[in-house]
Amino acid sequence: MAKLKDIAEASGFSVATVSRVLNHDHSFNVPEETRLSVLKTAEKLNYVAISQRHRPFYVSDKSGTTKKIKIGLAYSYSPSDEIIDPYYLSIKSAIGESCETNGVDLKVFYLHEREYKDIKQENLDGLIALGKYNDYEIKALYELNPNFVLVDCYTEHPEIDVVMVDLKVATKRLIDYLYKTGADSIGFIGGIESTIDGKSIEDVRLRTFIKYGKADMDAVYLGGLTADSGYEIMSNIIKSGNVKSAYIVSTDVIAIGCLKSLNEQKIKIPDEVAIVSYNNNVLSEFTFPALSTVDLNVHYLGMATTETIIERIKNARKIAKKIFIPTQFIKRETSL
């Protein structure tokens, strides 16, 4: 967790200045530019004030004994999946940090190696499921614990809370942006995601691209969720001679492979081909050229998830909430 010293070093201001700004000392006369710089740096480093840390929430068990809230996190991805694309690792970490901040005990269950019965045996107050699940899996998890929040996967179930990134709006904005900046044709490059039982699932980014962008499947290229796949797809596109003026790529990892192929063929980015993607991976600003990407605000996704399940547990709420976290486009050098 970031400290005042970390923010001071990152922002270039003294620890005393940082402290007084973050404590909202209105008697401290400081330029607005300085105040905003400190606040933005603190947000970027996920700083949490001492007064807000470790505020445990308590519930009573069946015997009337007061105890800290204990939440389970069902996780459908393996460590090897996290290495390929750290997106879900970042969400898992954000949920973990938010639980720590709120004094909530969190236990992670890797579903690729555990049975659902392991979750039931833990006597949890609530359950979060992160990943991609089919309707049967969602129902099975919900039956384990009615205080249930589904993250990054949608269900219309009237009693199941959902917290996810608003990829539909993000994709619409990317399409509008690319056409506004001069693209006359746009393609979509993505990876195929699947549930635990191996069934492929529909990508809301792809669905929005086809419907809102009025595109057909000839402009769509799908493969794996790796940089190698992005490299192979883009190389085949170049060989075909049917290169679009812009591509929306479903993840930064896949986009990194696309950039490598374009650079090898000396295709100018973004003058000849613009690339935009999603996730704002830590490596995206260090690609060549630096990658324009959509920041999915996973820190706030984690916060919203934890706050939602705590509220549900404390209030015994039955009606579901469907929460969509807004995104932010980070324009760098791969787009005009």
Give 112 or 232, the one with higher predicted confidence: 232
Give 303 or 32, the one with higher predicted confidence: 303
pLDDT of 203-216, one tens digit each? 999 999 999 999 99
Please give the average per-residue pLDDT across 153-160, as a whole number.
95
Q: How far apart are CA 183 and CA 3, in angstroms?
A: 44
Q: How far apart are CA 237 and CA 246, in angstroms?
A: 12
Coil/strand/helix, residue 201: coil
Q: What confidence category does residue 292 fall into, taking pLDDT thresholds of 50, 70 and 90?
A: very high
What is the pLDDT at residue 55?
A: 55
What is the pLDDT at residue 27?
A: 65
Residue with the two structure tokens 């199941």: 160
pLDDT of 15 higher than 70? yes
Q: How far apart are CA 310 and CA 175, in angstroms?
A: 37
DSSP string for residues in 28-92? S---HHHHHHHHHHHHHTT---GGGS----EEE-TTS-EEE-EEEEEE---HHHHHH-THHHHHH
Report the range out of 79-88, 129-138, 170-179 with the highest average pLDDT: 170-179
What is the pLDDT at residue 59?
A: 60
Beta bridge partners of 266: none
Report the range out of 130-134, 136-140, 205-209 with the highest average pLDDT: 205-209
The rounded mean pLDDT for the chain is: 90
What is the pLDDT at residue 66?
A: 67
Give 77 or 214, the one with higher predicted confidence: 214
- Say which residues have a Cβ less than 8 Å from residue 15's Cβ, sequence separation at least 6: 4, 5, 8
Range with lowest mean pLDDT among 5-19, 125-139, 290-304:
5-19
pLDDT of 271-281, one tens digit each? 999 999 999 99
User: Exposed/middle/buried for 66, CB within 10 Å: 0-12, 13-18, 19+?
Assistant: exposed
List the domains of the chain with CATH numbers. 4-52 (1.10.260), 60-165+297-326 (3.40.50.2300), 167-295 (3.40.50.2300)
What is the pLDDT at residue 37?
A: 87
Please give the average per-residue pLDDT across 306-326, as a whole number.
94
Please give the average per-residue pLDDT across 246-260, as a whole number.
97
State percent of the chain over pLDDT 70: 92
pLDDT of 46-68, one tens digit each? 787 655 555 566 665 566 666 78
**10 Å Cβ neighbour count for 285?**
13
